[in-house]
Amino acid sequence: MSVRYGMLALLERRSMHGYELGRELEGELGDEWAVNYGQVYTTLERLVRDGLVVQSDTVEVADAPDRKLYTLTPAGRAELRGWFLTPLDTTETRRDELFAKVLLGLTSDVDVAEIIQVQRKRELRRMAELTAAKERLDAALHVAEVLQLDLHILRAEATVRWLETAEAKIAKAAGSGPERLRVRDEVRADQGGQERGGEARGAGERTRAKGRGRT
Amino acid sequence: MSAVAVREVEQLFHLGKRNVVHALRGTTLEVSDGEFVAVMGPSGSGKTTLLNVMGCLARPTAGHVEIDGADVTRLKDGALDRIRAKDVGFIFQGYSLIPTRTALENVTLAAEYAGIGRAERRTRAREILDRVGLADQADQRAAELSGGEQQRVAIARALVKSPRLLLADEPTGNLDSVTAEEIMELLRTLRTDDQAIVMVTHDPRMAAYADRIVFLKDGRVVDEEQLRSAHRV
């Protein structure tokens, strides 16, 4: 998200000047949302240009330049509401390096189970650090910080769960020669759920591979 | 000193003449005083069996179990029962309370089994229910309480005897995620420095509350990870 919507949401509460906007954005959402004031003013200029915000007043300040007060317009309010209620596309579209490691590891000399375990321990250690940080906070007083930690904890958990799923499926499908590679279809489907051709064929082969593995 | 240790433990289950399940295959695990260990591993890896052996609910086929440094492997059943009643607290996924009894009665009963005198039982039970946040529900029947509250009663029941060892088998498995976190925070807050906790879980988020994670696979400890220092600062 650009800081654009954060600023619109703050201006919905009341009119503010640029310095206040920058300070409140960080105060509200935490350190990760710290912005430099140059960014605040460029964004304000664009919001004014697009008719979402107007400069409503000027406040005189002793020993400093006057501060311009900004106010949300009806168009800005509509834009903000649209942002709140439009679902975000959270699909991972980037090339996922962990996914690549596990997949390429299948045909490499390296032990895939070890790749998985090394990463799982890393994620669990991180989850423990985040959990410890959360325990030090009073949840009623630090809502933003706690929710931010929760988000990171749950994302790490998703990675751990994917690693465990991959480990189990790879172990199940582990056979000799080309059989080894069929697990790729399953792992890939779990990762992104992207549309892929030959899904039915892949499933048939998987069943056969499992059956053979038992004998 | 280690609060509990299992050394080279084997556990076989005979299911019919030919069907033998090898649940533990030379498992070794030592848990220190005040340490909180999470045991993770896929279904069928031996997690619950390991917990039962540690809690003297099952006698291992081979190997040794030590509680407080004393070998309890070959003790007679009666002696094992006493250790279980006095030194080991259990928390299960399904709470396992007596549904028709009140929260207070459930806790008092555990104190009675542990040999705590009549007068002291009720005082201690009230006190520990207060500490798990259930002072106002002490006289309500277990069946009338929510899942989270029932698990709090189960924690109070396990802790009322100040056991050396607290064993938990998927303690948050039936709870929603916020209630589950509250239960884990409670466990971390209430444990004392001479109490060890061993918790079996599938849930990485719950394991993240432990000091150390032990990974079990096919009845063996295959790996472990130190998450934080065991003793609180």
Q: For each of chain A's 215 residues, which pLDDT tens digit applies? A: 678 999 999 999 999 999 899 888 888 877 777 888 888 999 999 999 999 999 988 888 888 888 899 999 999 999 999 988 888 777 766 678 888 889 888 888 888 999 999 999 999 999 999 999 999 998 888 888 899 999 999 999 999 999 999 999 998 887 544 444 455 566 666 665 444 444 344 443 443 343 333 33
pLDDT of residue A37: 84
pLDDT of residue A179: 47
pLDDT of residue A62: 81
pLDDT of residue A186: 62
Residue that has been written with the tokens 């048939």 in this structure:
A204
Q: Are strands B70-71 and A67-72 parallel, antiparallel or unpaired?
A: unpaired
The answer to whether B208 and B177 have CB atoms below 8 angstroms apart is no
Q: CA angle at residue B109 from B108 to B115, to 5 degrees?
A: 90
Closest of A180, A20, A165, A202 to residue A105, by C-alpha: A180
Q: Are strands B165-169 and B196-200 parallel, antiparallel or unpaired?
A: parallel
Question: Domain A3-85: which topology?
Answer: Arc Repressor Mutant, subunit A (1.10.10)
What architecture (CATH level 2) is domain B2-226? 3-Layer(aba) Sandwich (3.40)
Closest of B39, B38, B40, B71 to residue B56, by C-alpha: B71
Q: Does A135 touch chain B (CB under 8 A)?
A: yes
Q: Does A137 touch chain B (CB under 8 A)?
A: no
Q: Would you state the structure tokens that stand for residue A197, as one six-digit string?
A: 């051709």
Residue that has been written with the tokens 């924690």 in this structure:
B155
pLDDT of residue A35: 83
Cβ-count burial of B224 within 10 angstroms (0-12 exposed, 13-18 middle, 19+ buried)? Answer: middle
pLDDT of residue B90: 95
Within 94-123 of A, beta carbons closer than 8 Å to B belong to: 117, 121, 123
**Minimum-distance CB partner of B225 among A124, A131, A157:** A124
Contacts of A149 in chain B (CB under 8 A): none
Q: Are strands B2-15 and B165-169 parallel, antiparallel or unpaired?
A: unpaired
Residue that has been written with the tokens 């420095």 in this structure:
B193
The identity of residue B68, as a single letter, is: D
* Cβ contact, residue pair A154, B188, below 8 Å: no
Domain ranges of chain A: 3-85, 97-214
Regions of chain B short of the pLDDT cut 50: 233
pLDDT of residue B229: 82
Q: Does B205 touch chain A (CB under 8 A)?
A: yes
